Structure 1
Amino acid sequence: MNAAAPPAATRVAIVGAGPTGLALAVTLAGAGIDFVLLDKLPEGANTSRAAVVHARTLEVLDELGAGAELVRRGLPVERFTVRHGGRTAAEFSFAGLPTPHPYTLMVPQSDTEAVLLDRLRALGGGVHRPYEVTGAAQDADGVTLTLAGGRTLRARYAVGADGMHSAVREAAGIGFPGNAYEQSFALADVTMGWRPGRDEVSLTFHPDGLIVVAPLPHGRFRVVAVMDDAPAAPDRACVQDLLDARSPGQARVERVVWGSRFRVHHRVADAYRAGRLLLAGDAAHVHSPAGGQGMNTGIQDGYALGRAFADDRLDAYEAGRRPVAERVVALTDRMTRLATLRNGPARAARDTVLPLLSRVPAFRTRITTELAELNYR
C-alpha cells in the first residue's frame, strides 16, 4: 500500500490496479513516463481468481522483466484434454508452439499481481490505495478525476482499468453492448485425488454442463463448473457431487481452500478511446472464462497501451487491440456454447465430430495457437 497521497497532477492516471493496470504501470515506468496508479481497495486481492497465464502473455511479461519470477511460482502444463466422463475425446498439446513458453502456466492471480507489483516497485512506482474514482471530466488539455472524499487528480490522460463496471467508461459515455449467459459458474480451489493427474487441464462435457479441472501449485486443483444456480461459496460436498455426476470415479475431494460463484457476460466496448479517456482490460471487454483468456487479454492491453504512450501512437491502440477482444469474445462464446449444449442431437454431433477433428494436426495447432494467443503478437 502507498501511504502517501497521490500528487495533484500527472501525465497518465490509471484507475484500477489489477493485472491490466499493473501491466500498464510497469510499461510506463520502464519508458520513463509519469503516471499515477489508483485503486479503490485498501489492498490487493489475495484470492486466486484467474489462474491461467498463456504463452503470449508470458512473452509480454518477459519484456517487462516479470516473466521469470512468475514462471518460478507457477506450474507449467503442456496438455489440454477434452473428456466425456472418464473417456478422453481429444487431446491438445502446447509443446510444439513457436514460443519460449510452449505451455500454459497455472498460477493464482494473486501471484501474478504480486510479481507485477514487485516489478513496479523495483522501477520506483507503486499503487495509491484506497482511492475510489467517482467521476471524470475532460477538456482540451486533460482530464480531472474526482476521488471519493472530494480530492481531485489532474492528468493529461486517464485510463480505465477498473473492470466491468468501469467509472471511466461511464464518464466517457462509451457503450458496452452484449449479454449475460443464463447459467452461473461455481469456482473452487481444492485439494483432492484426481485420477487424470497433474499434467493436464481437463474439460469434461456433460448434459448438465461443463466442468474444468486444472492443477495449481502447492498440490491444489482449480474446479470450474457450469450450474443453473451455483452456491455463493461451494463447499466440499458440492464440489464432490459435481465431480461425481460429471466425472464419475475420477475425484476424491479432501478440502475446499477457496470457493466462489460468478455470472458471465460477453461484451466489447464500442470504443477504446473517447478523447483523453481510454479503456483496457475488463473495462473494455468481458467474456466467458472458457480457455482462460480474460486476464491474458487484459495484461496484453496494458502492455500495448503503455507502448502506444511511449511511442506517441495512441491512435494505434484501439486499432490493434479492439479486434483482438472481438475475436476472443467470439472464440470463448463458441467454446462455451459448444460445451453447454443441452440439445441431444447437437451433443451427439459434437461428441462424434470433435474426436475426428482432433486427429488432424493442423486443427490441433490452430486450437493451441489461438488459446495461447500467439496470433496476437
Structure 2
Amino acid sequence: MPQLPDTTEVVIVGAGPTGLALAASLLDRGKDVLLLDKAAEGTNTSRAAVVHARTLEVLEPLQVTGELVGRGVIVPTFTVRDRDRILMKVDFGGLPTAHPYTLMVPQSTTEEVLLRRLRALGGDVHRGREVTAVTGDAEGVTVRLADGATVRARHAVGADGMHSVVREQVGIGFTGDAYPQSFVLADVHLEWDLPDDEVQLFFSPKGLVVVAPLPGGRHRVVATVDDAPEHPDAADVRDLLVARGPRSVPARVGDVAWSSRFRVHHRLADHYRAGRIFLAGDAAHVHSPAGGQGMNTGIQDAVDLARRLADGTEDGYEDARRPVAAGVVAMTDRMTRAATAGGPAARAVRNTLLTVAGHNAAVRRNLAMRLSELALDR
C-alpha cells in the first residue's frame, strides 16, 4: 500500500460518484487532492442508475458526458400508470438542454468513467484507507486513519455516505426519519410489449413498482415491500410484476443480474459545513429513490463545491446547495407517500389528481424540469 502524503490541499473521504466527481473537478482546476476510501475496491453494482440532464451538463467540463451517454440508454419519457391505465406521461424531449432525456446507466459504469478521468488528470483513489478522526482548526484540517497515519489539509470533504464518519466527527445533525417499507431493487432480463424507451411507474393496491431499461437488454425493477427478501430472485420479481404491473401485458422475467433489499431514509444535514470541513452527497442528504435524484444531487454538490474551493467562494456552498437538497427531499417524500397511498379512497383521489394534472402541459413541463433538475438554473 503506497504511503500517503503528509499534506495536501483537499482530503476527500469517500470514493463513490460524489467523491470521484469532486476529486476530478478539483484536479481539473489545478488543486492538489487526496481521495480516500475504506473499501478495498469500487462498486460493481448498479444501485444508482439514473443520470439526469442537469448532471450531464455539469459533467461536460470534465469531458465524461459523451462517454456516459454512449454507454447508457436514452429514455425520453416518464410514464405513471395505475396498472394498465395511463395517468400521466412526462416528456423530457422539449427541455432547454442538449440532453432532453433521462439517461439510464449503472452506477458502476458512472464510477468507472469518472475514475478513468480522475487518473487521466493525475489522481487516483487510495483504497483500504479508513478514516477514524477529522479535526479542524483555524489553519486547516487533520485527518487520522485507522492505521495511525495522519494527513494535514487545507480543507476536508465528507463524501462518505449516509453513515458519514466525517459528519459524525464534526457533530453535524442529520435530521429526518426512515420509511416503514423496505425497497426491492433488481436488475433483470425482462421481455414484455410495453415501450423500452420509457421509465414506467406502476401504482396498484399492492404497492408501487418502477421498471426502467438498462444497457444490455436488462431492466431495473424497484418496488416497495413490507418485508422484502434480502436477495430477490426471478420468481420474486415476476410475482411483483404480476401483482402490480400491467394485467394486459404479461412480463417474461429471465435471470437476475443483481438484486438487493434496502431501507430508505429521508434526512438532511443541519449544516453543510463546519469550519474547513464540508459535506457532499449522501453524507449531506438522503431520500427516497422516487425520481432518481440521489446520485445526481450529490454529483452536482461536488462540481459546485470544487468550483468554490478553487476560486475562494466556499462560504456560499451551503446557501447554494442545501436548499436544493431540501427541495429534493420534500418532492421525493411527496412522491413516495402518494405512491404508497393506502386505502381505495386515497388511491382514487390520487389517480384523479394525476390524470387531471397529466392533461396540463404546464404541469407536465414543470415536473420534467424538476425531475431533470434543470429547474435549478432556469
Q: TM-score range by the shorter chain?
A: over 0.9
How far residue 156 of structure 1 moved from its aligned partner, in angstroms, is 1.3
Alignment check: 8 A CA contact 1:5 1:128 kept: no
Is the counterpart of residue 220 in structure 1 residue 218 in structure 2? Answer: yes
The one-letter amino acid of 2:372's match is A
Aligned to 2:284: 284
Aligned to 1:103: 101
The one-letter amino acid of 1:185's match is F
Q: Secondary structure at the match of 2:366?
A: helix
Aligned to 1:298: 298
Q: Secondary structure at the match of 1:128?
A: strand
Q: Secondary structure at the match of 2:359?
A: coil
How far residue 4 of structure 1 moved from its aligned partner, in angstroms, is 2.5
The one-letter amino acid of 1:40's match is K
Partner Cα distance (1:202, 1:94) in 2: 14
Aligned to 1:177: 175
The one-letter amino acid of 1:338's match is A
Aligned length: 375
How far residue 126 of structure 1 moved from its aligned partner, in angstroms, is 0.8
How far residue 345 of structure 1 moved from its aligned partner, in angstroms, is 1.1
Alignment check: 8 A CA contact 1:183 1:227 kept: yes
Aligned to 1:371: 371
Worse-superposed segment, 302-311 or 191-200: 191-200
The one-letter amino acid of 1:60's match is V
Is the counterpart of residue 132 in structure 1 residue 103 in structure 2? Answer: no
Give a deviation string over 1:247-289, Cα, whole Å, max 9, x none.
Answer: 1343110111100011000010000000111100000000000
Aligned to 2:186: 188
Aligned to 1:314: 314
TM-score when normalising by structure 2: 0.98
The one-letter amino acid of 1:32's match is G
Q: How does 1:239-250 map to 2 (within 5 A)?
A: 239-247=237-245, 248=247, 249-250=249-250
Aligned to 1:230: 228
How far residue 102 of structure 1 moved from its aligned partner, in angstroms, is 0.1
> Percent identical across equivalent pairs?
62
Aligned to 1:88: 86
Give a deviation string over 1:4-39, Cα, whole Å, max 9, x none.
Answer: 232111110000000000111111001001110001
Is the counterpart of residue 343 in structure 1 residue 343 in structure 2? Answer: yes
Partner Cα distance (2:222, 2:340) in 1: 13
Partner Cα distance (1:50, 1:215) in 2: 13
Alignment check: 8 A CA contact 1:196 1:250 kept: no
How far residue 192 of structure 1 moved from its aligned partner, in angstroms, is 1.2
TM-score when normalising by structure 1: 0.98
How far residue 191 of structure 1 moved from its aligned partner, in angstroms, is 0.2
Give a deviation string over 1:185-215, Cα, whole Å, max 9, x none.
Answer: 0000000112213110000001221100000
Aligned to 2:252: 252
Partner Cα distance (1:199, 1:289) in 2: 20
Q: Secondary structure at the match of 1:177?
A: strand
The one-letter amino acid of 1:339's match is A
Aligned to 2:40: 42
The one-letter amino acid of 2:189's match is T
Aligned to 1:28: 26
Q: How does 1:122-161 map to 2 (within 5 A)?
A: 122-161=120-159
How far residue 130 of structure 1 moved from its aligned partner, in angstroms, is 1.1
Q: Secondary structure at the match of 2:317?
A: helix
Superposed CA RMSD in Å reads 0.9
Q: Secondary structure at the match of 1:99?
A: coil
Partner Cα distance (2:347, 2:195) in 1: 27
Partner Cα distance (1:26, 1:135) in 2: 24
1:79 to 77, 80, 89: 77
Partner Cα distance (2:288, 2:60) in 1: 27
Compared CA separation, residues 25 and 346, structure 1 to 2 (3 A) = same
Partner Cα distance (1:139, 1:9) in 2: 15
The one-letter amino acid of 2:273's match is R
Q: Secondary structure at the match of 1:296?
A: helix
Q: Secondary structure at the match of 2:325?
A: helix
Is the counterpart of residue 167 in structure 1 residue 160 in structure 2? Answer: no
Alignment check: 8 A CA contact 1:133 1:145 kept: yes
Aligned to 2:53: 55
Partner Cα distance (2:317, 2:203) in 1: 38
The one-letter amino acid of 1:34's match is D
Alignment check: 8 A CA contact 1:86 1:250 kept: no
Partner Cα distance (2:355, 2:313) in 1: 45
Give a deviation string over 1:106-135, Cα, whole Å, max 9, x none.
Answer: 000000001011111111111111101011
Partner Cα distance (2:4, 2:192) in 1: 48
